[in-house]
Amino acid sequence: MRFGLFGGARTSTGEQPSDSQQIHEFIDYVLEAEDLGFESVFLVEHHFTGFGQISAALNLLSYLAARTRRMRLGTAVTVLPWHNPALLVEQAATVDVVSGGRLDLGIGRGYRHTEFAGFCMSMDEAEARYQECLAFIRAAWTSPGRFSHHGTYWHYDNVVIEPAPLQRPHPPLWIGANSEASIVKTARDGMNLLIAQHGTPEAVGTKIAAFRHAVEAAGRTYDPFSAGVTRALHVAHTAAERDRQHELRIRFMRNVQDLSLPPSGPVAGNHFQGHGDAENMRRMTETDALIGTPEEIVARLKVYEAAGVRHMLLMDVGGSLEALRIFGREILPEFREPV
């Protein structure tokens, strides 16, 4: 199994350092992760949170391209409805070029009510805007020479998008997909799969098997690294610390829920349907998150490994270098693959 960071998360709890300090601490965290053997980092893109989640992910990745040596540099996810498609493709390709071809471009529709409200955009447009931007991305990266695009939201005439990315035909596109139908479509479209933070190891295993089957049915070789699973990581050596980490995780989930659900409740078709009540959130942290001692976490990861997971993205909400080092020294070596 190989490991990456799912990153830029930040809690709203307690005293906040400055935005600059927080970003520089996160950079140090990513660099330490690379030294410890983490092989990818996937940055979120979020807006208007008031607690400093990463907003300009492709800019931070451009910086990290110079500071890292071999890590894959990803987004999870770039929210297509917010972006001018041409500028987005130029930015992504620039990251790919300066990083020597290390960009993994995760894309999505957006799911947070507060973001759509901030941009004064209806969530009902998310799917159509996503599809239109994705069509533009494909045209930009596969058209020989100039092309035009006339959609519902964007118009371009006779354009060529530069620079060309280094990876050909283009950087891998990663999609968050949950239902079997959308997982199969992701595979058929030649895209990689992001599996979000929730669901039992068995449920994750079923999704990965469906993805693998669909990739092979399409006549391609399945790359086990092409399916990334995100899980919360909280190292806790004592019962008291375990309780505190569960609380921290639940507080984070509640926070995301508050940012995401419209006042009227969950929206049909939106991938975020809420976490339910406190008891349900507690149950989810028990089944989904990696909370415990290093030995317990190794045991949980072995279950994921047996379920077919080969690329695990860790979301360390606590975000301490100490927890990262424990993971790198005591947990990661248990999964080191022969080169």
Distance (Å, rounded) from C-alpha 75 to C-alpha 331? 25
Asked if 97 interacts with a second copy (CB under 8 A), we say yes
Which of 84-92, 179-187, 238-246, 262-270 is the region at the interface with a second copy (rule: CB under 8 A)?
84-92
CA 17 to chain centre: 24
199 versus 319: smaller Cβ distance to a second copy? 319
Structure token pair of residue 19: 């935005």
Site residues for a second copy, window 191-210 (CB under 8 A)? none
Least distance CB 5 / a second copy (angstroms): 17
**Listed ranges 114-122, 221-229, 272-280, 303-311: which one lies at the site for a second copy (CB under 8 A):** 114-122
Q: Identify which of residues 62 and 245 has a Cβ nearer to a second copy in the complex.
A: 62
Q: Under the criterion CB under 8 A, does residue 131 sit at the interface with a second copy?
A: no
Show contacts with a second copy in window 163-192 (CB under 8 A): 163-164, 166
Query: Is residue 162 within the footprint of a second copy (CB under 8 A)?
Result: yes
CA 312, CA 40: separation in Å to the nearest integer?
10
Q: How far is the CB of 83 from a second copy (least distance, A)?
A: 7
Q: Give, as ranges, the residues between 305 and 324 that touch a second copy (CB under 8 A).
A: none
How far apart are alpha carbons 339 and 333 in whole angstroms? 13
| Identified binder of a second copy from the candidate list 14, 144, 157, 265, rule CB under 8 A | 157
86 binds a second copy (CB under 8 A): yes
135 touches a second copy (CB under 8 A): no
Rounded to a whole number of angstroms, the minimum distance from the CB of residue 315 to a second copy is: 19
Q: What's the rounded Cα separation, in Å, for the pair 5 and 128?
A: 30
- Quick count: other Cβ atoms within 10 Å of Cβ 56? 12
32-71 binders of a second copy (CB under 8 A) = 47-50, 52-53, 55-56, 58-60, 62-67
Q: Minimum distance between the CB of residue 11 and a second copy, rounded to whole angstroms?
A: 15
Rule CB under 8 A: say whether 337 interacts with a second copy.
no
Nearer to a second copy, 45 or 288 (CB): 45
**Cβ-based nearer residue to a second copy, 47 or 282:** 47
Q: Show Cβ contacts of residue 122 under 8 Å, excluding neighbours closer than 6 positions.
A: 116
Compute how many residues bind a second copy; rule: CB under 8 A.
52
From the number of C-beta atoms within 10 Å of its C-beta (0-12, 13-18, 19+), residue 36 rates as middle
Among 29, 34, 75, 94, binds a second copy (CB under 8 A): 94
Positions in 237-296 near a second copy (CB under 8 A)? none
Given a contact cutoff of 8 angstroms between Cβ atoms, the answer to whether 46 and 7 are in contact is: no
The C-alpha atoms of residue 88 and residue 133 are separated, in whole angstroms, by 9
Q: How far is the CB of 74 from a second copy (least distance, A)?
A: 15
Contact 93, 163 (CB under 8 A): yes
Other Cβ atoms closer than 10 A to 43: 28
Q: List, in order, residues 6 or more apart from 79 with CB less than 8 Å away.
A: 45, 107, 108, 109, 110, 115
Amino acid at 181: A
Alpha helix ranges (H) inside the chain = 19-36, 57-67, 85-98, 113-118, 126-142, 180-188, 201-217, 239-260, 278-288, 294-306, 321-326
CB 156, min distance to a second copy, A: 6
Footprint of a second copy on this chain (CB under 8 A)? Answer: 18-20, 22-24, 27, 47-50, 52-53, 55-56, 58-60, 62-67, 82-84, 86-87, 90-91, 93-95, 97-98, 117-120, 146, 155-164, 166
